[in-house]
Structure 1
Amino acid sequence: MRILVTGASGFLGGHLVDGALSQGHTVRALVRPGSDAARLRSLPGVEVVAGDLTDGGPLGPAAEGCQAVLHSAARVVDHGSRAQFLAVNVTGTLRLLAAARSAGVQRFVFVSSSSALMRVRESDRLGIDESTPYPRRWFNHYSETKAIAEQYVRAADGPEFTTCAVRPRGIWGPRDHAGFLPRMVAAMRTGRLPDLSGGKRVLVSLCHVDNAVDACLRAMSAPASRVGGKAYFIVDRGETDLWPFLARVGALFDCPPPAPRIPLSLGRAMASAIDTGWNLCRCGGGRRRNTDAGPLLSRYMMALLTRSATYDTAAARHDLGYTAPRTQAEGLRALRTWVTAVGGVTAWTSGSAAKHPAASVGPAPRKAPDSTGQRDTTS
């Protein structure tokens, strides 16, 4: 097939391109004007087109001749106005849906997020499955707009246009330069990451990027009658005890563990104060107002770091044949190898690794199933 991948110059989008190529598909990679597309242009079988979700004009030509869309582009930061999030995550998705349907695309896979179900106030939740309803009030603009977009995508499903959504949680792995894991390691390196758990065990589900790609490609090829209009949680095998995991990742790169341990109430107060101060600076004419970098610690990040949240993938196993092919141990070994190849932890966490000659190196993408849902024996 010819597949349109949005957000192709980003972390997950770039891996989706690799995964599609590994199955013999050709790819049309949609990137924002001005994005670094050098790696994509070097890949045989990839056509790079410039376009922005906030401008519907280029989306029609981008979708022409494609049989499937893997839509991973989004505003994923944890700051900004509601209008900014709506413009990209909701209006942009609606424009892409319309362009894909008009172009005769048969399959539309939306990369959603477990945060689409994240409420303002909630306690730990374990074993969440797809029967969980959307909140009445979301935690932040990102959660709200991903949920709204997901609902539009699911409602667009029809006989000639199959749509579905996947909800990975905490994507991590090689070539991630701005996600939660490099941010945590950067803070540990300089001794600026306290243990925010308050002594509480925080159990979470995470998702290695190879597993997210595997699920997306399975959703693209699974029978329409099985996946149409549905959403699926996608995470790694088993639960992760978050703070020991962060210490273990830090140890791979000779970073001190998170310390000191502070009470939950103090951590939440710190996050609130930092969030408020950053927004005042941003809105009040301070030097941060034109940057896309968020605060070091936000209410959203604090919630992710202190709320237990695990997800049941039974529906993905049943409908997609998804079994999380990459284990956490394998993922950590691959991450360490890649970080070494791009110049070490300093280069990785400073973002300069993105320009390293080896920045595109990573583990070979896993093959996803054919339309019968059977796993390739090489997986």
Structure 2
Amino acid sequence: MKVLVTGASGYLGGRLCHALLRHGHSVRAFVRRTSDLSSLPTISDGVALELAYGDVTDYPSLLAACSGCHVVFHAAALVEPWLPDPSRFISVNIGGLKNVIRAYKETDTIEKIIYTSSFFALGSTDGYTADESQMHSAKFFCTEYEKSKAVADKIALEAAKEGVPIVAVYPGVIYGPGKVTAGNVVARMIVERFSGRLPGYIGYGNDKFSFSHVDDVVDGHISALDKGQQGQRYLLTGENASFMQVFDIAAAITNTKTPRFSIPLFVIEIYGWLSVLFARVTGKLPLISPPTVSCLRHQWAYSCEKAKRELNYKPRGLTEGLEEVLPWLKNLGAIKY
């Protein structure tokens, strides 16, 4: 089939394009003129990859990119925990989805939309493990990103009720080889840990996140194309663990010492505020910001049993995933051990 991938130059989007091509699909990658295309297959390799330039916030360019396509994988999103201009979350994460739905209604070839949402869209799970039935309470948001994805989630579900053939998938904290970007926060944390810039644990291990290997998430997206049902939600999550456990597993794999102390979250929050002030001066986005710390004060644990059952989703464990990530980072020269 002819497939359009929005956000194709991103961490997840690039690997999704590779996988779709391996499955025999003809892929049109929707990218901005300024995008780094290093994660995409090169057209010189003879693959059926086509580039379409534009932006999900620019409807005419998106509509043109949708022309003749049978499936849209809408993976474009701003995934930063903090931006100096929070309105960008609304225009990209909410407005982008609205434009995709509008484009579906104005074309006659699109048969299915696979929408990449986020576990944040379902809300925190302090003290329990949630499944797809959970709806965000919308009473409090840790980040503007979380708020935008929760609002977009409701838009997607309403569109499905109106007959739009949309399937929503919800990855956890995506990690794995590929790009060391904001979308690969585990790799960034490991780099900070091994460089000595993050000398201790983040907090006391009360946080909990659901970690998803990027290639498992990609496989889940492709399964959603073949098996996902209109209007259904599928959590593409994985092992639920704290960042303390991530650091301990990394230490065990590399035969290095675990951190000797924990850094209280209020200290990290102060550092986050200083990082935000520095970011406003330099324009370089911070690794840690106050919204990040707000997320760490909560738990985000989810069950992916529905995806396992209906999509044949097979997430690997955190240890297995990190056994791949750590040598990759070492080969990049990003860490030493």
TM-score by length of 2: 0.87
Instruction: Give me the whole-angstrom Cα distance separating, in 2, the residues matched to 1:317 and 1:75.
Output: 27
Match of 2:15? 15
Instruction: Give me the whole-angstrom Cα distance separating, in 1, the residues matched to 2:260 and 2:187.
Output: 17
Instruction: Give me the whole-angstrom Cα distance separating, in 1, the residues matched to 2:211 and 2:299.
Output: 11
Contact kept, 8 Å, 1:130 with 1:232, in 2: the verdict is yes
Match of 1:111? 116
Contact kept, 8 Å, 1:37 with 1:48, in 2: the verdict is no
The 3 A distance-change label for structure 1 pair 201 and 143 is: closer
Identity %: 28
Per the TM alignment, residue 84 of structure 1 is displaced from its structure 2 partner at its CA by 1.3
1:154 aligns with 2:157: yes
Per the TM alignment, residue 303 of structure 1 is displaced from its structure 2 partner at its CA by 4.2
Contact kept, 8 Å, 1:68 with 1:108, in 2: the verdict is yes
The equivalent position to 1:186 in structure 2, one of 184, 191, 196, is 191
Superposed CA deviations along residues 67-102 of structure 1, whole A, max 9, x for unmatched, are 111111111111123311101111122112211332
Instruction: Give me the whole-angstrom Cα distance separating, in 1, the residues matched to 2:185 and 2:255.
Output: 18
Match of 1:129? 131
SS of 2:64's equivalent? helix
Instruction: Give me the whole-angstrom Cα distance separating, in 2, the residues matched to 1:330 and 1:247.
Output: 14
Superposed CA deviations along residues 307-349 of structure 1, whole A, max 9, x for unmatched, are 343211122233323232x4444423332453355x33349xx
Per the TM alignment, residue 139 of structure 1 is displaced from its structure 2 partner at its CA by 1.7
1:243 aligns with 2:232: no
The 3 A distance-change label for structure 1 pair 159 and 148 is: closer
Match of 2:89? 85
The equivalent position to 2:321 in structure 1, one of 328, 331, 345, is 331
Contact kept, 8 Å, 2:82 with 2:291, in 1: the verdict is no
Contact kept, 8 Å, 1:268 with 1:302, in 2: the verdict is yes
Per the TM alignment, residue 47 of structure 1 is displaced from its structure 2 partner at its CA by 0.5
Contact kept, 8 Å, 2:143 with 2:292, in 1: the verdict is no
Q: Which amino acid aligns with 2:165?
A: T
Instruction: Give me the whole-angstrom Cα distance separating, in 2, the residues matched to 1:134 and 1:124.
Output: 13
Instruction: Give me the whole-angstrom Cα distance separating, in 2, the residues matched to 1:313 and 1:15.
Output: 21
Per the TM alignment, residue 160 of structure 1 is displaced from its structure 2 partner at its CA by 6.4
The equivalent position to 1:273 in structure 2, one of 245, 267, 270, is 270
Per the TM alignment, residue 161 of structure 1 is displaced from its structure 2 partner at its CA by 3.6
Q: Which amino acid aligns with 1:339?
A: L
Q: Which amino acid aligns with 1:191?
A: G
In the TM superposition, what are the counterparts of 1:29-178 in structure 2 within 5 Å?
29-38=29-38, 39-42=40-43, 43=45, 44-80=47-83, 81-104=85-108, 105-118=110-123, 124-136=126-138, 137-157=140-160, 161-178=164-181
1:197 aligns with 2:203: yes
Per the TM alignment, residue 304 of structure 1 is displaced from its structure 2 partner at its CA by 4.3
Match of 1:231? 233
Contact kept, 8 Å, 2:6 with 2:56, in 1: the verdict is no
Match of 1:364? none
Instruction: Give me the whole-angstrom Cα distance separating, in 1, the residues matched to 2:166 and 2:226.
Output: 11
Instruction: Give me the whole-angstrom Cα distance separating, in 2, the residues matched to 1:301 and 1:208.
Output: 21
Instruction: List gaps (5 residues or longer) in structure 2.
Output: none
The 3 A distance-change label for structure 1 pair 297 and 101 is: same
Instruction: Give me the whole-angstrom Cα distance separating, in 1, the residues matched to 2:107 and 2:212.
Output: 32
SS of 1:156's equivalent? helix
Contact kept, 8 Å, 2:18 with 2:41, in 1: the verdict is no
Per the TM alignment, residue 300 of structure 1 is displaced from its structure 2 partner at its CA by 3.3
Q: Which amino acid aligns with 1:32?
A: R
Per the TM alignment, residue 202 of structure 1 is displaced from its structure 2 partner at its CA by 4.3
SS of 2:105's equivalent? helix
Instruction: Give me the whole-angstrom Cα distance separating, in 2, the residues matched to 1:155 and 1:94.
Output: 11
1:344 aligns with 2:333: yes
Match of 1:374? none
Per the TM alignment, residue 9 of structure 1 is displaced from its structure 2 partner at its CA by 1.1
The 3 A distance-change label for structure 1 pair 4 and 196 is: same
The 3 A distance-change label for structure 1 pair 190 and 68 is: same
The 3 A distance-change label for structure 1 pair 314 and 254 is: closer
1:24 aligns with 2:27: no
Superposed CA deviations along residues 256-283 of structure 1, whole A, max 9, x for unmatched, are 5334223xxxx33224323333444555
